[in-house]
Structure 1
Amino acid sequence: MSDFAIAYDNYDPGNEGLRESLTSTGNGYFCTRGTAEWEDADGVHYPGTYAHGGFNRETTILGGRPVLNEDLVNLPNWLVLKLRIEGEDAIRLENVELISYEHSYDIRLAMVQRVMRFRDRADRETTLRSRRFVSMAHSHQAGIEWTLTPENWSGRVEVISGLDGRVTNQMVARYLELEGRHLDPVSPRTFGPETIAIKVQTRQSNIYVAEAARTRVFRDGAPVQAERSLHQMVDYIQQVIALDVTQGESVRVEKMVSLFTSHDNAITETLAAAGRHVLRYPDFAEALEEHASAWTELWEVCDVELPHEPRVQLLLRFHVGHVLQVCSRHTARHDAGVPARGLNGEAYRGHVFWDELFVYPFLNFRLPDITRGLLLYRYRRLTEARAAAREAGFRGAMFPWQSGSDGTEETQVVHLNPLSGQWDPDHSHNQRHVNAAIFYNVWKYYQATDDREFLRDYGAELMLEIARFWASAAHYNPERDRYEIHGVMGPDEFHERYPGSDEGGLRNNAYTNVMVAWIADTAPRVLRLLPVSRREALRARLGLTDDELRTWDEMSRKMYVPFHPDGIISQFEGYLDLEELDWERYRAQHTNIQRLDRILKAEGEDPDRFKLAKQADTVMLFFLFSDEELRTLLGRLGYAHDPELTRRTIDYYDRRTSHGSTLSLVTHAGVLADIDPKSSWDRFIVALESDIGDVQGGTTKEGIHMGVMSGTLDLLQRYYVGSDVREGVLYFEPTLLDRLDGLVFSMQFRGTPLRVSIAGDQLTVLALPEGFRGPVRIGVGSEVRELGAGDSTVFRLSHETGPADPNHLSNAEGSHHGDRL
């Protein structure tokens, strides 16, 4: 591995699915798995392609019961490029002897490459070099280049270039009982002798998808006039290009591809658009150069240099590359959310969850226009969220736990436990905390950007309707003189209901209730930020009364938060009454207990009975809010926040958490940054390695985890560098300085680009003149300095890396406080 490359020097069928996910190539519009072009979908390989918004619904009959699911559709396979020698079977990895093999991934370009030398059944030795990219310069463009060298033979070869619309969704084993057919054929077509095309339509959502491919062959830089033949069916088309090759002389094959859907702008029809565009595309080399230039521009603002921690630097860059494959400037031009598993797999059916909570902080400070576009995905579904709230008897907007095409609830009603083989009821739609995450995301975007226009036109309405939902979901308990919320699930997910209850949901989940108290306090501040005319117009249109505002104020002071008698925040009311689990026994019996819920259910046990957590949602409070902010929140509610509350609560849940979600590793690494830096860094490393090492034992091949990849980037900037916006100032409070020595990265604060670096005990911030929007204020501790265009400032830091200290920074007086970003 180099600074920007990952390489595998052997072919391993058992890990091929994982490698295909990790070496995907995409541009924020569509993404294709890193499958070898010559392989078909089987138990080893899966050539999937996915585009933002490409959803379709199908119904499956399970035991006589109709089950409706919406999936991100696997689109026609444009990779098809196969080699046939002397009329024999097409070359596959399984039917040749590999003399040498390398599968590599250029992180800087999101380009997948293979070089293999093989011996076929006739003892012919051939070298095949393959390079492939999905263009970051042109959203609809992709390209494949083959360099073919016959090493010890001369003869006749055929190159098969195809477009395959016969694909289905069949990647995830536990979904195989569900309907996977999503495409109906429309028509194949040719655009001249070199270009083939195909058009399909999704079966329910009526989205047209068209792909066109121009395939050419070159020898010594000149085009080869090869013999071509065509074969087409209603859902498949291929060209066979036949030519003679000579021992030791290379020929080069180029396949340039375009992909369009009927969701695209400025087209008359998808098939015509695909054909027209591919005919205009330059050759592979020129297209690759444009692609590389677009990525270079992105790396200028997104790169992370940490030279003294080379493995960490590599994986951070790997994560940056994957985040940008899913969320780029191309994404902002489409109606797109953030699929929890990116665009390179079918896990979670391509749905949008709360994982955006972990994705946006990195984008907010580098490519805020992308965050803005992604937040509009939620705004455009506000009407559906309002309808969902009304149908459930609430006011305001109730967003779904799983969102897809139109913002209706896509959470399945049954879920397959792969350990037991049973379909269990699924209550996870009760995770209403997704509404709180959306509110939080809008607020943090505003703080980082000062985008008052977005707040005025979209954000405020979104936030006020979410606050209104929580006000109607809560009820006042006069015996406690507190507001309570019942019937919800927290991020934990292992507790869906109380033991023995048929009713889903829990009472007074601490994470949810504290978030709602914060929302109730913040929403009026949002109103005050609006121009008077817009404030009054919005209140009139929403019918937002003074009585409602008074209720919000009461909720911000009287939400109920459950505590254990020893002062630990309870995960939910009644958590303390649950049974303790024999953790030692389960760790001894199982090599991996992350999905402890499935293990228990397979044994006939009920996870709801025990004090355990997939990811301790109470700990999330310490992740999203600084100690000072949480102390203020709890103080406003009338609860004590003693100096040991953080350590005490985190330690309690750490011992009862299986970390079944990789997001849990991010959360615990963040909250331990000041308390236990060594443990924090250890968990940070596990989170960094989680996808590339597939720590969950097979899930990454179903799609990378966007939350953990972006969460590790946020950990670095928010907890280890300590970036934090309060009162219009960007503060830094670095920790783990011995690990961060040599760190260099870029940020954008309120429109002004910054370059941040740490060297020894010095933190330097430079305001770059290019793109400068105006002076910004930067602070370390109590010292705040203003930077103009081209200005830089240096702060001297303490080398302490132990637990937080009020005088942790030599220039600081007082402890860290404010909205932590």
Structure 2
Amino acid sequence: MQKDETRWQVRFEAFDADDEHRREALLALGNGVLSWRASAPEASAADDAASDVHYAGFYRAGWYDDGAREVNGEPVRLEALVNLPDPFGLSVSLDGRQWFGSADVPLLAYRQSLYMDRARLEREISFQLAGHSLRLREIRLLSLANPHLALLRWELQCPPGVERVQVRSVIDAGVENALIGKNRAYEGKRLRDLVLEPAEGGRATLSARLETPGRRLAMAVHACHTGQIQPWRSECQGERLLQQTECVVENGRLVIEKRVIVQVDSELPSTAADARKQVLACLPTQSFARLHLRHARAWQRLWAQAPLGLSDAGLEKSLRLHGFHLLQTISPHSPGRDLGFPPRGWHEGYFGQVFWDEIFAYPFLSSHLPDLARGLLDYRYRRLDTARERARIAGLRGAMFPWRSAGSGREQTPPFQCNPLSGRWMPDYTYRQRHIGAAIAHDAWQLYLATGDQGLLTGQAGELILDIARFWASLARWDEARSRFVILGVIGPDEYHNLRRDGQPGLDNNAYTNLMAVWSLRLALDVLAALPESAAQALCSRLDIQPGERGIWHDMTRRMYLPIRPDGVLLQFDGFEQLEPVPDAWMQEDHPRLDWMLEARGDRPDRYRLAKQADVLMLLYLFPGSRLGELIRSLGYAFDEHALRRTAAFNLSSLTHESSLSLVVCAGALAGIDPAASWRFFQQSAGSDLQAPSEGGTLEGVHLGAMAGSLDVLQRHYLGVRAEHDGLQIAPAPPAALGNVRLSVQHRGAWLRLTLEGQTLLLCADPANRRDIPITTAAGAKPLAPGQRLAIACERR
């Protein structure tokens, strides 16, 4: 597993207009603060470039607008990530008439390459312009050394006889949020009070604001080149600033650069004029080589905390791509900026909002970069008071977190979704996914287990866990007929079932929701038991938790109802088995998304025994089978290994996998039950974006939750590395086809290297560790001292 540069590269050898939107998202760059789709700069600057081929998306992480809209005849305020002005427009011409990027300019050769180790995107293009053949090498990066800086560099090779080149630089401030057609009513133009100002030497500034109070933007752009200095001519064309100059080519070579600085909100002085002056002064003067070196070194340090090697080169490349997108979305610049985990990255998919997807990222982040996981926990904690208020308004206690969050902490689920097949608006009831609270509690606990920081339990994590438990205790109701607690009117992870038979929104007793409520209540009791008595009393006093509440929580952990058959099969929710069976064609043939297809026919998926994504199986993704069995048996239900397998098979049979998360959940859930099926799902999830169709969902932004989940499956399910209260539990279950694997994890400040070769998993504690790592295997518990090794035999299946 020596370093092979191709394992760090994603490359396309030809231009494909039909695939461009997908590639723009797949090859997008980020630094945790800015995100830049891989759109061609010449498409924004040429006179007649194909406007439907490229989409110049540029975003600031967490920069949402909640401007008023009218959707389906109703006023709506929905927080959405804003597409920033496009500062990267760039083109060249030899005669002032034909510009590179125009439809009549033929491409002779094309290569696009993402270098993940340095987070650098390149294009190498040969094209014909005014009868001459030119070669272009483009480099772009979003600096990990300076979170406000974007760099674009063109190196143009000109043939003999070409002595002058005209250069055009464009800033397009007339952009809209327009990538996703079905969201158009919610999106559109968001920037207000735009000011574009040219400055000397190819510089320019821009300022704007949003309807959302306090949201302000300033941007500075510097276009420069290596040719003889000529004055730039500037012209405003509506909301576009066009700057143009002529360069003298020296030795057949011309280098053009664009440097962009973006700052927002409290980073700026109070007036727009002063803001423009500030960003102009922030433009870097160092050489591109120096700026690139600082960026590359920052990425080198980041990758060092997430080492990975596989004998399967193709799989290694896919997983590196997943890690790359994860680390450029949640980077070392993210903590302290109040940023959540957007399931499509910082792009327009799902409006850039935050769901539950960090549950798939926490095991990996907390065991490699715990500060980044802590930053995500900070995002949730800052919205705890809003969640408490939402619960109070609903007549409940504790904290009721929204299913979809953005800046304010209020629920951001759109009231309607447009069906692109029928053109009709469908009500969206998915805000009833109350299981988001259990996910947040799970994430908080994962961070504590990985760090051992008891301050988390007495502070943020403890408050979140206890107030989420209090919410579950107030949401559940006692059912006299069943002599059990029930949870009514909720929606599980599978979003294809939203309505009861009487047409009312929500379902009764979703198995995943009820069991996660039980787990959350048990966790709250465990947290209080783990703390010194004085610390536990102080935490309860701060949250005003009364002595009787803990008794109620304990009672619920023993008497919650589950929709379970006599043979032990755990059903998705009450009445699921009575739904109509699904025609085979729906599960086997290509067709539009089933909820769209059925609504267009006047039908709905609520009537059928199908699921968009893994719901019950999500429990097996989170918990080992033995622990899940113990959890179910603690409620008084019979549940053994046979019931576990029957449950997995029954729920798997209804899955359509129309969510990218479904594949990775099944890969993890089946790792200990059906290794061959697990491996098939894992391979599919590894290629879910890299091998996706051009018209698929990747064009809206990569599936970041599924990408993080693939890393989690490799580490937590296949290598069996789980953080527990008493240390690291290692229970490997590698599929036969996995090959050799090398990675490292961090546990409470100590590093552990894991090497899977053949039938052996070798653990090596870093010699630089300052403490032992407590390890538990099937053979028992053993502290691993610094520099010490431990070999574990593992059967591949």
Q: TM-score, normalised by structure 2?
A: 0.95
Moved more, 92-101 or 421-430: 92-101
Aligned match for 1:304, one of 305, 308, 320? 308
In the other structure, the counterpart of 1:336 is 339
> What amino acid is the match of 1:786?
P
In the other structure, the counterpart of 1:114 is 123
In the other structure, the counterpart of 1:201 is 209
In the other structure, the counterpart of 2:524 is 523
- 1:36 partnered with 2:40: yes
Q: C-alpha displacement at 1:773, in angstroms? A: 4.5
8 Å Cα contact 2:176/2:189 also seen in 1: yes
Equivalent-residue separation in structure 2 for 1:267 and 1:642 (angstroms): 65
- 1:215 partnered with 2:223: yes
8 Å Cα contact 2:58/2:86 also seen in 1: yes
- 1:133 partnered with 2:141: yes
Equivalent-residue separation in structure 2 for 1:691 and 1:684 (angstroms): 13
Q: C-alpha displacement at 1:425, in angstroms? A: 0.9
Equivalent-residue separation in structure 2 for 1:521 and 1:420 (angstroms): 46
Q: C-alpha displacement at 1:579, in angstroms? A: 1.1
Equivalent-residue separation in structure 2 for 1:773 and 1:160 (angstroms): 57
In the other structure, the counterpart of 1:411 is 413
Q: C-alpha displacement at 1:193, in angstroms? A: 2.5
> What amino acid is the match of 1:65?
E
1:198-277 map, 5 Å: 198-218=206-226, 224-232=228-236, 235-245=239-249, 249-264=252-267, 270-277=275-282
CA RMSD of aligned residues (A): 2.0
Aligned match for 1:792, one of 783, 788, 792? 788
Q: C-alpha displacement at 1:254, in angstroms? A: 1.8
Deviations 1:18-72 (A, max 9, x none): 0100111110111100111111383110111112220001233245322332210
In the other structure, the counterpart of 1:97 is 106
Aligned match for 2:132, one of 103, 112, 124? 124
Q: Structure 1 unaligned runs (5+)?
A: 803-821
User: Percent identity between the aligned chains?
Assistant: 36
Aligned match for 2:632, one of 606, 624, 634? 634
Q: C-alpha displacement at 1:167, in angstroms? A: 1.1
1:505-584 map, 5 Å: 505-582=506-583, 584=584
In the other structure, the counterpart of 1:819 is none
Distance 1:530 1:188, change over 3 A: farther
In the other structure, the counterpart of 2:683 is 685
1:337-356 map, 5 Å: 337-343=340-346, 345-356=347-358
In the other structure, the counterpart of 1:25 is 29
Q: C-alpha displacement at 1:263, in angstroms? A: 4.3
Distance 1:92 1:734, change over 3 A: same
> What amino acid is the match of 1:640?
A
Equivalent-residue separation in structure 1 for 2:258 and 2:61 (angstroms): 23
Moved more, 34-43 or 603-612: 34-43
8 Å Cα contact 2:660/2:688 also seen in 1: yes
Deviations 1:712-755 (A, max 9, x none): 00010011101122342212222236444431112111111222
Q: C-alpha displacement at 1:663, in angstroms? A: 0.6
- 1:650 partnered with 2:648: yes
8 Å Cα contact 2:22/2:694 also seen in 1: no
Moved more, 197-206 or 310-319: 197-206
1:535 is paired with a residue whose SS is: helix
Distance 1:761 1:663, change over 3 A: same
> What amino acid is the match of 1:72?
L
Moved more, 595-604 or 405-414: 595-604
Q: C-alpha displacement at 1:88, in angstroms? A: 1.2
- 1:183 partnered with 2:191: yes
Q: TM-score, normalised by structure 1?
A: 0.92
Equivalent-residue separation in structure 2 for 1:651 and 1:555 (angstroms): 29
In the other structure, the counterpart of 2:377 is 375
> What amino acid is the match of 1:606?
R
- 1:167 partnered with 2:162: no
8 Å Cα contact 1:385/1:398 also seen in 2: yes
Deviations 1:348-387 (A, max 9, x none): 1111001111121110110000000111101000111111
Distance 1:275 1:234, change over 3 A: farther
Deviations 1:374-414 (A, max 9, x none): 11101000111111111111111101011011110000111
Q: C-alpha displacement at 1:792, in angstroms? A: 2.9
- 1:50 partnered with 2:48: no
Equivalent-residue separation in structure 2 for 1:461 and 1:235 (angstroms): 48
Moved more, 683-692 or 74-83: 74-83
1:349 is paired with a residue whose SS is: helix
8 Å Cα contact 1:125/1:152 also seen in 2: no
Equivalent-residue separation in structure 1 for 2:468 and 2:436 (angstroms): 10
Equivalent-residue separation in structure 2 for 1:531 and 1:186 (angstroms): 57
1:128 is paired with a residue whose SS is: strand
8 Å Cα contact 1:198/1:236 also seen in 2: no
8 Å Cα contact 1:730/1:779 also seen in 2: yes
In the other structure, the counterpart of 1:698 is 696
In the other structure, the counterpart of 1:811 is none
Equivalent-residue separation in structure 2 for 1:792 and 1:741 (angstroms): 25
In the other structure, the counterpart of 1:718 is 716
> What amino acid is the match of 2:548?
D
Distance 1:768 1:32, change over 3 A: same
Equivalent-residue separation in structure 1 for 2:221 and 2:289 (angstroms): 16
Equivalent-residue separation in structure 2 for 1:523 and 1:562 (angstroms): 24
Equivalent-residue separation in structure 1 for 2:542 and 2:750 (angstroms): 35
1:455 is paired with a residue whose SS is: helix
In the other structure, the counterpart of 1:807 is none
1:241 is paired with a residue whose SS is: strand
Q: Structure 2 unaligned runs (5+)?
A: 45-49
- 1:158 partnered with 2:166: yes
> What amino acid is the match of 1:241?
T
8 Å Cα contact 1:107/1:318 also seen in 2: yes
Equivalent-residue separation in structure 1 for 2:237 and 2:209 (angstroms): 15
Moved more, 413-422 or 693-702: 693-702
Q: C-alpha displacement at 1:766, in angstroms? A: 2.5
Deviations 1:758-787 (A, max 9, x none): 2233322222244x3522112332243323
Equivalent-residue separation in structure 2 for 1:710 and 1:71 (angstroms): 23
- 1:2 partnered with 2:3: no
In the other structure, the counterpart of 2:489 is 487
Distance 1:124 1:319, change over 3 A: same
Q: C-alpha displacement at 1:135, in angstroms? A: 0.7
Equivalent-residue separation in structure 2 for 1:467 and 1:50 (angstroms): 36
> What amino acid is the match of 1:793?
R
In the other structure, the counterpart of 1:87 is 96
In the other structure, the counterpart of 1:293 is 297
Total equivalences in the alignment: 786
1:181 is paired with a residue whose SS is: coil
2:87 is paired with a residue whose SS is: coil
Q: C-alpha displacement at 1:703, in angstroms? A: 0.7
> What amino acid is the match of 1:255?
K
8 Å Cα contact 2:22/2:695 also seen in 1: no
- 1:586 partnered with 2:586: yes
Equivalent-residue separation in structure 1 for 2:471 and 2:486 (angstroms): 14
8 Å Cα contact 1:780/1:795 also seen in 2: no
2:442 is paired with a residue whose SS is: helix
Equivalent-residue separation in structure 2 for 1:695 and 1:13 (angstroms): 13
8 Å Cα contact 1:163/1:211 also seen in 2: no
Q: C-alpha displacement at 1:232, in angstroms? A: 4.1
Equivalent-residue separation in structure 2 for 1:513 and 1:152 (angstroms): 74
